[in-house]
Structure 1
Amino acid sequence: MCAGLAQESAQDFAYEDFDCPKDNGFFAHATQCDAYWSCEDGTPEFRLCGNGLAFDNKNDSRENCNYLFAVDCTDRPELEPAISTPHCPNLYGIFPDPDDCSVFWSCWDGEASRYACTPGLAYDRKSRVCNWMDNIPECKAQRDAMQQDFACPAAGELTATGSFSRHPHHEDCRQYFVCLDGVAREYGCPIGTVFKIGNQDGFGQCSDPEDVPGCEDYYGDLDLDSFRRSQLLLGNLGLQDGGSAPSAHRPRRPAAATADAAADAAADTATQA
């Protein structure tokens, strides 16, 4: 049985409304994308996917509820009414934060997990990955507000770096701006490091906080040596930053959804908070 599945009783749906095309299998509802029929020995049973999921009918031998964006619902446009919880318009799905372009929420059974794209990136609602903020029209106002106190040097002003240069953020030791042909994009150093200004304007690199005057206490009481060891361990285990090992007590996401490149790419370029 696929995760996020809800069953309806026989009293609610008459079996004679559906004739099983095969004795055993799973078959899409004619008009409702999140509904389907489970047939066993020729007897149909009406079932519903979790709220926000849809039945993927590519293989009638598999009971597979998938994210709505991964299923073609053109011929089955009807859906159950949305059930919402904080940060989750539906109980299942991946949703942008309405106030912060860099944040998105992964919802599973109404439980919201917050993810933040790395500095300078924002959640792209169309491709469902973290993308450059200047490539997302909905994020223009937020990007302009973030960069209102910074402007790239004029063309030819920095002869040593050419059209590419790096500049410190005016408020955050970890973040910095990259200018390419006069266009500014915000970057962030890896956690555990901060941006160190180079010997010439337009140069710089990520470095240990102890090597950057004024940023020595950026990470407060965080034990950076222990943190780096834990990150190395997570990398060896194949886990994302902020991730966790699979649990047998939690429903697994639909097989096709976890393999979906868009959903995976979003998680790969984001940090769970």
Structure 2
Amino acid sequence: MKFFGGLVLLVFVCCANGQQFKCPPKDGQYEDPVQCDKFYVCEEGIATPKLCPDGLVYDPLIRKINKCDQPFNVDCGDRIELQPPQPSPPYCPRRNGFFAHPDPKVCNVFFNCIEGEPTESKCTAGLLFDELTGTCVWPDSTQRQGCEDTSTRKLKDGFECPKEHQTDANGNVVVHPKYAHPTDCQRFYVCLNGQEPRDLGCQVGEVYNEDSQRCDAPENVPGCEDWYKDEPSAGKPVKKSRK
């Protein structure tokens, strides 16, 4: 009987809240003024309260019937209240949404929860997951602290990716910038997402052209014209420093 009585009370409160909301003259869906995941369906002046699936919030600006979306896509403004969470531990603090790994030191792994079922995903090399945007971002674009280093930041020869972003002719940041090797004309470095270095090389007979950021003929790269001069068949190159 106590459970039944509590259920009746819940229904009464729900209906009472719906009656407190005054519908505009036009039928439709309207956001609750204080709770971001709550809205009302108004028909002939009667308001029926509704809740978005746990983890989603209501966006009145969406031009479709289902107006519930991810929190990072919606500006809730002063509507800061939410329904009680329905967690599915350990990866889903709410039934729906994108959530960081529960271990605060694992910053490149996140989970997409759909009705309490998590799907694990991993950011590409050098990026960290940011719950505020629901995306993977550069480390300097998030406030997350104490994240473990998930990639190799320094090669055996000591090369590290420069902290400064490389830009193209239009001023756009180069996603995977390349850098010439200081002593070997055939080799060059690639920084995946500007963070994780890789040591690569051109095919035998070519050298790296820093201006075009491509492998090129030796005669087109100042200082590397004679890189293969002692190997007519373009076999093993003679090692010497770049000028």
Q: Could you give the per-residue CA deviations for residues 82-104 of structure 1, whole angstroms, max 9, x where no partner exists?
A: 22113111111111213322211
Cα distance change on mapping 1:27 and 1:69 into 2, 3 Å:
same
CA distance in 2, matches of 1:18, 1:127: 32
* Structure 2 letter corresponding to 1:152: F
Cα distance change on mapping 1:140 and 1:186 into 2, 3 Å:
farther
Report if aligned partners of 1:120, 1:187 keep a CA contact under 8 Å in 2: no
Whether 1:129 aligns to 2:135 is yes
Identical-pair percentage: 28
Whether 1:152 aligns to 2:162 is no
Indicate the RMSD between aligned Cα atoms, in angstroms. 4.0
Whether 1:87 aligns to 2:91 is yes
Q: TM-score, normalised by structure 1?
A: 0.51
Q: Could you give the per-residue CA deviations for residues 226-255 of structure 1, whole angstroms, max 9, x where no partner exists?
A: xxxxxxxxxxxxxxxxxxxxxxxxxxxxxx
Q: TM-score, normalised by structure 2?
A: 0.56
Name the larger-Rg structure: 2
* Structure 2 letter corresponding to 1:89: P
Whether 1:178 aligns to 2:182 is no
Report if aligned partners of 2:161, 2:196 keep a CA contact under 8 Å in 1: no
Give the secondary-structure state (helix, strand or coil) at the position aligned to 1:57.
coil
Structure with the larger RCO, 1 or 2 (CA within 8 Å, 6+ apart): 1
Give the secondary-structure state (helix, strand or coil) at the position aligned to 1:83.
coil
Cα distance change on mapping 1:161 and 1:179 into 2, 3 Å:
farther
**In the TM superposition, what is the alpha-carbon distance from 1:48 to its structure 2 partner?**
0.7
Structure 2: runs of 5 or more not aligned: 1-9, 163-179, 209-243
Between Structure 1 and Structure 2, which shows a larger proportion of helix residues?
Answer: 1
Give the secondary-structure state (helix, strand or coil) at the position aligned to 1:13.
helix
CA distance in 2, matches of 1:179, 1:196: 12
* Structure 2 letter corresponding to 1:96: A
**In the TM superposition, what is the alpha-carbon distance from 1:12 to its structure 2 partner?**
3.0
Give the secondary-structure state (helix, strand or coil) at the position aligned to 1:16.
helix
Q: Could you give the per-residue CA deviations for residues 152-180 of structure 1, whole angstroms, max 9, x where no partner exists?
A: 17999723469x943xxxxxxxxxx7399
CA distance in 2, matches of 1:134, 1:11: 46
Q: Could you give the per-residue CA deviations for residues 87-140 of structure 1, whole angstroms, max 9, x where no partner exists?
A: 111111111213322211111111111111223332233443223446556366
* Structure 2 letter corresponding to 1:101: C
Q: How does 1:22-171 map to 2 (within 5 A)?
A: 22-58=25-61, 62-85=65-88, 86-99=90-103, 100-133=106-139, 136=142, 138=144, 141-143=147-149, 146-147=152-153, 151-152=158-159, 158-160=182-184, 165-166=188-189
* Structure 2 letter corresponding to 1:185: Q
Q: How does 1:228-239 map to 2 (within 5 A)?
A: none
Report if aligned partners of 2:126, 2:195 keep a CA contact under 8 Å in 1: yes
Aligned residue-pair number: 175
Cα distance change on mapping 1:39 and 1:63 into 2, 3 Å:
farther
**In the TM superposition, what is the alpha-carbon distance from 1:38 to its structure 2 partner?**
0.6
CA distance in 1, matches of 2:134, 2:36: 21
Structure 1: runs of 5 or more not aligned: 1-7, 167-176, 189-194, 204-273
